[in-house]
Amino acid sequence: MTHIVLGYPSFEANRQVIRQMVENGVDCIEMQIPFSEPMADGPVILKANQDSLARGTTVGECLEFGAEMAATYSIPFLFMTYYNIIFKYGEKSFFMAAKKGGIRGLIVPDLPPEMSPDFFNYAKEMEIAPILIYAPTSTDSRMAELNTFADGFIYCVARRGVTGAKSEFGDDFNHYLARCRAATRLPLAVGFGIRNSEDVKAIIGKADMAVIGSQTIQLVDEKGVEAVGPFIAGLR
| Secondary structure element (H or E) that encloses residue 105, with its range | strand 105-107
Average per-residue pLDDT for the chain: 93
**Helix 59-72 and helix 91-100: axis angle, to 10°?**
30
* Residue 156 · residue 190 · CB < 8 Å: yes
Query: Could you read off the pLDDT of 179-196 as tens digits, one per residue?
Result: 999 999 999 999 887 888
CA-based nearest residue to 24, from 73, 79, 63: 73
Entry pTM: 0.92
Active site residues: 30, 41
CA-based nearest residue to 126, from 102, 105, 96, 159: 96
Every domain of the chain and the residues it spans: 2-232
Going by pLDDT thresholds of 50, 70 and 90, the confidence category of residue 20 is: very high
Query: Could you read off the pLDDT of 96-125 as tens digits, one per residue?
Result: 999 999 999 999 999 999 999 999 999 999
Pick the CATH number of 2-232 from 3.40.50.10090, 3.30.420.40, 3.20.20.70, 3.30.10.20: 3.20.20.70
* Residue 106 · residue 133 · CB < 8 Å: no
More confident residue, 27 or 236: 27
What does DSSP assign to residue 137? Answer: T
